[in-house]
Amino acid sequence: MNIELMIERLFQYLVCGDRAGSRQIVDETIQAELPPEELVTSVAWPCYDLIDRLHRADQISRLAHHLGTRLLRSIVDQAALRYERKPDRNRTVFAICGPTDADELGAQIAVDLIEADGYTMTFAGGGIANDEVLAQLGETQPDVLLVFASAPCDLPGIRRLIDTIREIGTCGDVQVVVGGGVFNRADGLAEEIGADLWANDPIRLLRCMAEQPDRRAADDQRTVGLRRKRADAA
């Protein structure tokens, strides 16, 4: 099976809103016994990333972007129903994302894969105020806060959220994990804002979370918010 050709074909079907053609791609992967997880990580995710990048560069229309993301969501939903569920890791994750439909689709891809990997997931989507996120963290005490964002305009709010978590200390020792296009496009950004873990795609994200459940940002990064506030006040 030629994965690169499949990505190219699916992309064309998606941005044209060709539902029958997209279903044909899915049927071909089933016939070829491609695991649904690989369909999503090796085919759907690259298509999602390509559509998002082209839209941000004004190389595809808003209509093509909407057709593609909405059709891709249905494919991702169907694939997730067939995921192999791994043993319970006894770790809980609270996930949020940026406010757009594209943000929610990217986050959903990651959330579905993380849940199938044995984590207990709660996904709130986008547009949630920081004070509500903090209240949820304080009440439920999850092991991980996952923040998925694709736009630079989301960064100030994410930075403030992480700074507040570090400063108030009422959220336990929650591990802050970030992912999404905005962190992929700027090396060192995730570390700069104090995240504990980050990755460029869902597979790397799964690997990092499994291999480094106890990793926390260095002390100088965990206190960056407090130092920033002192500098602002001076």
CA distances from 123 to 95, 111, 178, 192, 214 (A): 5, 7, 14, 25, 22
Paired strand residues for 95: 123, 146
Q: For 92-109, write each residue's pLDDT tens digit.
A: 999 999 888 888 999 999
DSSP annotation of 118 reads T
Residue 4 three-state SS: helix
DSSP annotation of 39 reads I
> Which domains are seen in the chain, by residue range?
3-80 (1.10.1240), 92-226 (3.40.50.280)
pLDDT class of 186 with cuts at 50, 70, 90: low
Exposure of 60 in the CB half-sphere (CA atoms within 13 A): 19
- pLDDT for 155 equals 84
pTM of the model: 0.87
Q: For 191-232, write each residue's pLDDT tens digit.
A: 888 899 998 888 899 999 999 999 988 654 444 444 444 334
User: Parallel, antiparallel, or unpaired: how do β-strands 92-97 and 197-199 relate?
Assistant: unpaired
